[in-house]
A and B are shown apart, each in its own frame.
Chain A
Amino acid sequence: MNNIVVLPLFIPLILGVSLFFIRKHIRLQQWIAALAALATLAASLMLMGQISSEGIQVLHMGGWEAPYGIPLVADMLAAILVAVASIVTFACLLFAFHFIGEERKNYYVYPLMLILLCGVNGSFLTGDIFNLFVFFEVMLLSSYVLLSLGGGRVQLRETVKYIVINIVASSLFVIAIAYLYSITGTLNLAHIAERVAENGQNGLTTTVSLLLLTVFGLKAGLFLFFWLPGSYSAPSAPIAALFAALLTKVGVYVIIRMFTLIFNHQPQITHTIILWLAALTMILGAIGAIAYWRIKQILAYNVVVSVGFILFGVGVATDASLAGSVFYLVHDMIAKALIFILGGAVVFVAGTDRLREISGLIRYRPILGWLFFLSALALAGVPPLSGFIGKFLILQGGVQAEHYIMAAISLLTSLMVLYSVIKIFINSFWGESLLSEGEQKSSARGTLLPGFLLAALVVGLGLGADIFMPYVDQAVEPLVNPRIYIDAVLS
């Protein structure tokens, strides 16, 4: 029993709800929201410390032991992701303080961001598949509102699409849970894993696993990403940054969890399918990223590419590739938040997101420009930034397992990603300046603090990889050997 496990859910939820009482006091709301993100971060760091010394932490809520009660399970992977999600939310909040208009501030944007964080953290920490569904819905409901908030024409159109896609995915999710329950007779993830391991993963179970893969593919943007570029380019920049950093990553995390813990007995079917879907996702995403000339679209397609890349490592499923996937997942949450924040700032300064109409921003916004350049390099995985180590490990695992074609595809798409973000940099920062000092639509001062915070993390994770790597290795242990996770929950 360890009550700290519940804090990453509890803190953002209760402080988020408390903001309802002070709707008119925007400044106080901002302080409390930032405090909530920091407190969540502190709780998750404490959790990481405990896990590294004492192993997986489990909280049987209400004192009902698993498999009858509902546990929260914090293994190192979940704890790391919770910590990163809190940092990213903090950065997006700082960005939102400056860039979100009055019309949204008055309509509960900060409570919604905190409740989104609660849903994300809950999805990472829960040890029960039905609770996973519930936390997914908490996350999705707040994302529906955040997406439509402001009510622009494009926003409402994209919201309707987004809601329809997610309702379809969620109902498939419930159907898959029902199948899984009728096969195994339990909803506890560890218990399901034990039963599937005992009775063997037969054809029916594998089919259900593919249904779940479809569901999370839709949510994570694995191959079924047709909805993603539209939805992620519609909301205002801070919200888009939060979505890009967190929402798809939850889907990725669940795919990792499901296919390492439960459905790991038929890798020749499931993991091969994941590999091919990952390859297709990388190729199509990269084509999208280089094809467009609008900043928001290019960045949204970059989200897709990285999902494919992380799941390439999951499909290979060796020690090295899984460590790479975990490392890259952490890197990608930070780097995507960073580049969306900076990209959003460029759009704010220039007043448009069409690359052909922006030029020469470096004269007026040099710091923004160089930060953008740094994050572009990090996104492509240039050493010594954090993307490099993850990419290196995934490729190492892939080549060792003789997936040469996939490795080639991922290297090629990395180059395409680099081209797509450098295209933004060159077109918007180089060249003749079209704006004079007075004409700029906005200053970019509000981006500098969150920008520097996340950029420092990107650099720090790359240079300090030796310090961070033991945590990643510990996160990979239960992925390679699910027995550790099962024993921790059911003992």
Chain B
Amino acid sequence: MKFPDVILQTAAKILVFIIMIYSIYILFAGHNNPGGGFIGGLITASAIMLLYLAFDVETVGEIIPLDFKIIGAVGVMLALLTGFGAVLFGVPFLTQVYQYVNLPLLGKTGLGTAFVFDLGVYLAVVGTTVTIIRSISEDL
């Protein structure tokens, strides 16, 4: 069917890392700045899509041996359980806690439980987006 596109493959190998790092930056920035789990997840999914375009389904399956449906489910569970954690402390569902911690190397860092929720959203978006695009492409 299709012959290996050397330029696309070489570019993809570098670009995927840049896109991935950017998506993780966006995920972390989401607390106070534009960004967050949803958009970060979409960017990660687009990096995975680029891999699918440059290589084929089997190769990418070997690189990322994960079932994306399960990743989506893990994400939803994570987001829900973070929200439910608040209930255990007797405050309203989805209440977040935010604190500044001095971490080695990073210095004064803000840690919020909202991030864990966002991580759940991120995984859910990656899981569903890749699943949708893969199942559409399988029809072709």
Query: Is A10 at the interface (CB under 8 A from chain B)?
Result: yes
Contact in complex: B93, A6 (CB < 8 Å): yes
Beyond A10-B80, A13-B80, A14-B81, whether A21 also contacts B73 by CB under 8 A is yes
Contact in complex: A61, B92 (CB < 8 Å): yes
CA distance A62 to B98 in the complex (A): 13
B46-79: CB near A (< 8 Å → 1, else 0) gives: 0000000000000000000000011011001100
- Number of B residues with CB within 8 Å of any CB on chain A: 18
Query: Is B94 at the interface (CB under 8 A from chain A)?
Result: yes
Contact in complex: A61, B69 (CB < 8 Å): no
How near does chain A come to B95, taking the closest CB pair, in angstroms?
A: 5
Query: Is A18 at the interface (CB under 8 A from chain B)?
Result: yes
Contact in complex: B91, A6 (CB < 8 Å): no
Taking CB atoms, residues of chain A closer than 8 Å to B81 are: 14
Query: Is A59 at the interface (CB under 8 A from chain B)?
Result: yes
How near does chain B come to A393, taking the closest CB pair, in angstroms?
A: 36
Which residues 75-115 in B have Cβ within 8 Å of A in the complex? 76-77, 80-81, 83-84, 86-87, 91-96
How near does chain B come to A416, taking the closest CB pair, in angstroms?
A: 45
Taking CB atoms, residues of chain B closer than 8 Å to A60 are: 92
Taking CB atoms, residues of chain A closer than 8 Å to B95 are: 62-63
Taking CB atoms, residues of chain B closer than 8 Å to A6 are: 87, 93
Which residues 47-71 in A have Cβ within 8 Å of B in the complex? 59-63
Contact in complex: B70, A10 (CB < 8 Å): no
Q: Which of B72, B76, B80, B93 contacts A3 (CB 8 A)?
A: B93
CA distance A131 to B16 in the complex (A): 36
How near does chain A come to B73, taking the closest CB pair, in angstroms?
A: 4
CA distance A17 to B123 in the complex (A): 14
Contact in complex: B77, A62 (CB < 8 Å): no
How near does chain A come to B74, taking the closest CB pair, in angstroms?
A: 8
CA distance A10 to B94 in the complex (A): 11
Contact in complex: B76, A59 (CB < 8 Å): no
Q: Which of B77, B86, B92, B93 contacts A14 (CB 8 A)?
A: B77
Query: Is A1 at the interface (CB under 8 A from chain B)?
Result: yes
Query: Is A370 at the interface (CB under 8 A from chain B)?
Result: no
Taking CB atoms, residues of chain B closer than 8 Å to A62 are: 86, 92-96
Query: Is A31 at the interface (CB under 8 A from chain B)?
Result: no
Query: Is A226 at the interface (CB under 8 A from chain B)?
Result: no
CA distance A284 to B11 in the complex (A): 64
Query: Could you give 20 example pairs across A and B, Cβ below 8 Å?
Result: A3-B92, A3-B93, A6-B87, A6-B93, A10-B80, A10-B84, A10-B93, A14-B80, A14-B81, A17-B77, A20-B72, A20-B73, A21-B70, A21-B73, A61-B94, A62-B86, A62-B94, A62-B95, A62-B96, A63-B95
- A residues contacting B by CB (< 8 A) are 1, 3, 6, 10, 13-14, 17-18, 20-21, 59-63
- B residues contacting A by CB (< 8 A) are 69-70, 72-73, 76-77, 80-81, 83-84, 86-87, 91-96
10 other A-B residue contacts (CB within 8 Å) besides A1-B91, A60-B92, A62-B94? A3-B93, A13-B76, A20-B70, A20-B72, A21-B70, A21-B73, A61-B92, A61-B94, A62-B92, A62-B96
